[in-house]
Amino acid sequence: AEQGCIQFWLRNRWQGNDDKTYVFFDIGDEFYNRIRLYKDGANNFRFVIWGAKSEHGIFYDVSHWQAGEWHHIRANWYGDKMELYLDGEKSGWGHRGAVKMPIQLARYFFIGSDSTGSQQAESVIDEFAIYSGPVT
């Protein structure tokens, strides 16, 4: 929970400007103490960390993404920082100040949907990896 990296290739089956939500990675049983990577209904790719009583997030507009394209995703968290890289470029806005990391994480994580299964990725996910520290 204190640090790590999630990295994968994503081939979306949807247009980036479709105003729909797709979840690629989710770990957390409740609202807090959670990490999620997803595209929101405002067409932003989001990396969100919920601590015990806080929420921190980075978002990046992906409305220009076309269906069938491959994109490389990398999300790092460590110390009190978080980073989002899309296609090798540091991306995103929204994070300000020190990130409060989760105290603990759920026992299971979900790739390709949220923890309830109600929000699917509708994408191909390849070379998915989780690391115990940030990757540069």
Average pLDDT over residues 95-109: 87
Please tell me the least confidently modeled range out of 64-73, 88-97, 108-117. Answer: 88-97
Provide the whole-model pTM.
Answer: 0.94
* Six-digit token string for 41: 């209904």
Q: What percent of the chain has pLDDT over 90?
A: 85
- Dihedral, 62, 27, 120, 42 alpha carbons, nearest 10: -30
pLDDT at 131: 97
| Angle of CA points 18, 112, 104, to nearest 5° | 115
CA gap 52, 64 in Å, rounded: 34
Higher pLDDT, 14 or 95: 14
Please give the Cα distance from 44 to 21 (Å, whole number). 9
